[in-house]
C-alpha cells in the first residue's frame, strides 16, 4: 500500500505574517512540513535561519520556492540562474528535496532560451527536483497577455518534474485533473488552493471556490504520486490570527480528507 500523502504549508499562506510565524503555525496546527517561499522577508532568504526554525519547531522543510515572482525580482540579485543556484544551496542546507520555480517572464529572453535544458542540468548538478510551476495568461478586461516563456503551461514542455497549482490552473481556465493525468509521473509537487476562475490569482481555501480540488486530490492519491501536497492559500484578508488559523486548519482538514489513501 502506498504511503499516506504528506500535507505541508507554504510560508506564503500566513502573509503578511513572517516566515517564522509560518513555521510556528505549521507545527502547532499539525502540518507535516513547510515550503519556504523565498521573498522579501529577510529570514526567508537565510538558509541557516530557516534550518534553525525547522529544528526548533520540529517540522521539516520539504521544498524551497525560488524567488522568481514579479515581486521578488531583486531578491538574491537579478541573475535568474544565480537565484536557482542559491535556491538549490538552501534546499541542501535545510534538507529539502524540491525547488519550485516559475517559468521565465517573456522579457527574460536570454534566460528563456535555454531554460528547459538549464533546469535539467540543475537537477543533474544538485540531485534535486526542480519542479516548474504552471502559471497563467495575464488578463485585463478582454485583453490577454502571454507573460511567460516558453509557455505558462509546463505540461507540453520537456520538464522532468512539474508543480501543479490549482489556483493558477483556474486562472488559466485549465483542467487540473486532466493536467495531472497527462503529466503522470512528471507531476512532482502540488500547490493546493481553490478559485472561482477569476482572472485574479485567488488562492482560496480549498472547498470555497469552484475548482475540482477534491476530485484532483482523489486522482493524485490513487496514482503513484509520491511528492508533496502544499497548502498555498491567501489569508491576508483574515481579521485576526484566530481567523487565519481557522482557514489553515480548514485547508489541512480538506487536504487530509480527500488525499487519504
pLDDT above 90: residue 62: yes
Q: Would you say 227 and 7 are in contact if contact means Cβ atoms under 8 Å apart? A: no
* pLDDT for residue 1 is more than 80: no
Q: Whose CA is closest to 167, among 131, 204, 140?
A: 204
Q: Could you give the percent of the chain with pLDDT greater than 90?
A: 90
Mean pLDDT of 20-37: 98
- Give the Cβ contact number of residue 92 at 10 Å: 15
DSSP 22-58: HHHHHHHHT-SEEEEE-SSSGGGG-HHHHHHHHHHHT
pLDDT over 90 (residue 104) = yes
Give me the chain's average pLDDT, please: 95
Phi and psi, residue 99, nearest 5°: -115, 125
Q: Please, are residues 20 and 43 in contact by the beta-carbon 8 Å criterion? A: yes
Q: Closest by alpha carbon to 192, among 206, 174, 172, 210?
A: 206
pLDDT at 87 exceeding the cut of 80: yes
Q: Residue 220 corresponds to which cell in the numbers above? A: 493524485
What pLDDT was estimated at residue 177? Answer: 98
- Residues 198-220 have pLDDT tens digits of 888 999 999 999 999 999 999 99
pLDDT tens-digit readout, 106-135 = 999 999 999 999 999 999 999 999 999 999
Q: Which own/partner pairs from 136-144 qualify as long-range (CB within 8 Å, at least 24 positions apart)?
A: 136/168, 136/169, 136/171, 136/172, 136/201, 137/172, 139/199, 140/199
Domains and CATH numbers, the chain: 7-246 (3.20.20.150)
| Residue 140 scores a pLDDT above 80 | no
* pLDDT tens readout for residues 176-197: 999 999 999 999 999 999 999 9
Amino acid at each position: 500500500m502506498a504511503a499516506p500523502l504528506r500535507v505541508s504549508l507554504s510560508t506564503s499562506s500566513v502573509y503578511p505574517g513572517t516566515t517564522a510565524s509560518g513555521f510556528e503555525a505549521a507545527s502547532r496546527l499539525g502540518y507535516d512540513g513547510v515550503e519556504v517561499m523565498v521573498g522579501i522577508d529577510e529570514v526567508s532568504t537565510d538558509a541557516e535561519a530557516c534550518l534553525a526554525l525547522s529544528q526548533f519547531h520540529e517540522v521539516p522543510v520539504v521544498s524551497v520556492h525560488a524567488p522568481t515572482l514579479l515581486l521578488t525580482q531583486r531578491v538574491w540579485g537579478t541573475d535568474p540562474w544565480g537565484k536557482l543556484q542559491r535556491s538549490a544551496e538552501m534546499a541542501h542546507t535545510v534538507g529539502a528535496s524540491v525547488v519550485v520555480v516559475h517559468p521565465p517572464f517573456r522579457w527574460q529572453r536570454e534566460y528563456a532560451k535555454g531554460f528547459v535544458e538549464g533546469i535539467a542540468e540543475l537537477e543533474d548538478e544538485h540531485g534535486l527536483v526542480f519542479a516548474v510551476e504552471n502559471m497563467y495568461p495575464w488578463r485585463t478586461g478582454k485583453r490577454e497577455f502571454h507573460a511567460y516563456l516558453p509557455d505558462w503551461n509546463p505540461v507540453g514542455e520537456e520538464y522532468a518534474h512539474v508543480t501543479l497549482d490549482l489556483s493558477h490552473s483556474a486562472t488559466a481556465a485549465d483542467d487540473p485533473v486532466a493536467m495531472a493525468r497527462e503529466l503522470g509521473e512528471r507531476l512532482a509537487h502540488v500547490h493546493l488552493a481553490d478559485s472561482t476562475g477569476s482572472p485574479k490569482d485567488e488562492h482560496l481555501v480549498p472547498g470555497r471556490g469552484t475548482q475540482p480540488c477534491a476530485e484532483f486530490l482523489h486522482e493524485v492519491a490513487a496514482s503513484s504520486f509520491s511528492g508533496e501536497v502544499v497548502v498555498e492559500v491567501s489569508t491576508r484578508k483574515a481579521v485576526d490570527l484566530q481567523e487565519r488559523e481557522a482557514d489553515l486548519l480548514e485547508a489541512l482538514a480538506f487536504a487530509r480528507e480527500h488525499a487519504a489513501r
